[in-house]
Amino acid sequence: MAKTIRVGVIGAGAIGKIHVDAYRELPDVEVVAIAEKGTRRAKERAEVCGVDRYFGDYRKLLELKEIDAVNVCTPNYLHCRQTLDALKAGKHVICEKPMAMNVAEARKMVAAAKKARRTFMMAFCQRFFGPGQTAKKLMKSGEVGKVYHVRLEYIRRRGIPGLGGWFTSQAQAGGGPMLDVGVHFLDLALWLTGYPEATTASAGSHRVFGHRKDYTYLGMWGTTPVPGGPFTVEDLLSGFVRFKNGMTVKLEAAWACNSDTRGFVEILGDKGGLKILPDVEFFGKRHGHLVDMKAQFKKVNGYVEELRHFVGCLRTGRKPMATGEQGAKVQRIIDALYKSAKLKKEVRV
């Protein structure tokens, strides 16, 4: 591969700009162009992102021979089609979470990457921030031992993203907070525990706040509400997942609820335990005594490190740390959680 890796970003909203800015921190990487829906919006976002070339149709971006890789940073319902098109055009791909609308789409993406012989990576950024990296080292040290249970929560007291827009449309998002933010912590938990095979899932979902019209009360997250738009997803989902190795996971994700805002992954092992985010806390036994301590970790920009890893994989040909296969496993579990919530019973994963 050429010394300078040239990238195109499809979807230059909030997360797309984060990716553009992160690439600027890396040597010998150039963001050649961005694509947005519609030429006018593409031009506006190009100015915000500081990128000269822009397209109102992502397929025009894919026609650029000089582009080596693309970042798919669009709404969920576009991930599969745009990834497939990018791979067919011979580009390497890093795709934002969630991988797709369902596991059938996710499997198509994995198969297409293999057929095209191109690198396909999931943008699971929580692995690349300091706490995730430090927790992984502690897991490898053996001090936690065999993991038997995991708790994870991503709770916003108020923070529905773009009420009435694509975020809150079942047809365009596929789901609410579990698919939007819970997916990050589910991946982190599975990555830290070696991605065991899930067997069953049970869940309940609730839609309590999204239909209310008092936007000040609800609180928005990142994008402007669309009056009269849809709210056809949950605003809270809780679940329980069993795994083939005996491990269990209890999870909860919410955009709005009458509770405090918090987010963590807690891992319980037969030797020790970890609580990750915002710090890394270890609970175990040392020198015959029970101890609890905070581990030191390096504060880094996880988005920069994520893209550094992606670019490194392109240069060396090595397999990315966050694979499409893992993304499909996460999607399979989330699909089962939503199915269970709909049927009101435990289901096979």
In this predicted model, what pLDDT tens digit does every residue of 111-162 receive, in sequence order? 999 999 999 999 999 999 999 999 999 999 999 999 999 999 999 998 999 8
> In Å, what is the CA distance from 92 to each residue of 106, 183, 188?
16, 23, 24
Which of the residues in the chain have pLDDT under 70?
1-2, 215-217, 222
CA 139: distance to chain centroid?
Answer: 21
Cβ pair 211, 168 in contact under 8 A: no
> Which amino acid, one-letter code, is at 280?
V
Distance CA 35, CA 187 (A): 28
Q: Which of 164, 185, 168 is nearest to 176 (CA)?
A: 168
Across the strands, what pairs with 123? Answer: 96
- Residue 162 pLDDT: 83
Question: pLDDT at position 228, please?
Answer: 83
The 3-state secondary structure of the chain reads: CCCCEEEEEECCCHHHHHHHHHHCCCCCEEEEEEECCCHHHHHHHHHHHCCCEEECCHHHHHCCCCCCEEEECCCHHHHHHHHHHHHHCCCEEEEECCCCCCHHHHHHHHHHHHHHCCCEEEECHHHCCHHHHHHHHHHHHCCCCCEEEEEEEEECCECECCCCCHHHCHHHHCCCHHHHHHHHHHHHHHHHCCCCCEEEEEEEEECCCCCCCCHHHHCECCCCCCCCCCCCCCCEEEEEEEECCCCEEEEEEECECCCCCEEEEEEEECCCEEEECCCEEEEEEECCEEEEEECCCCCCCHHHHHHHHHHHHHHHCCCCCCEHHHHHHHHHHHHHHHHHHHHCCCEEC
Separation CA 167–CA 98 (nearest Å): 12
Q: What pLDDT score was predicted for residue 327?
A: 98
Domains of the chain: 5-125+303-323 (3.40.50.720), 127-300+331-348 (3.30.360.10)
Q: What is the largest CA-CA distance in the chain?
A: 66
Who's near 259: CB < 8 A, 6+ residues apart?
Answer: 155, 157
Please give the single-letter amino acid code of residue 131.
P
**Predicted local confidence at residue 259, as pLDDT:** 95
Structure confidence at residue 223 (pLDDT): 72
Give the tokens for residue 274: 């970890």
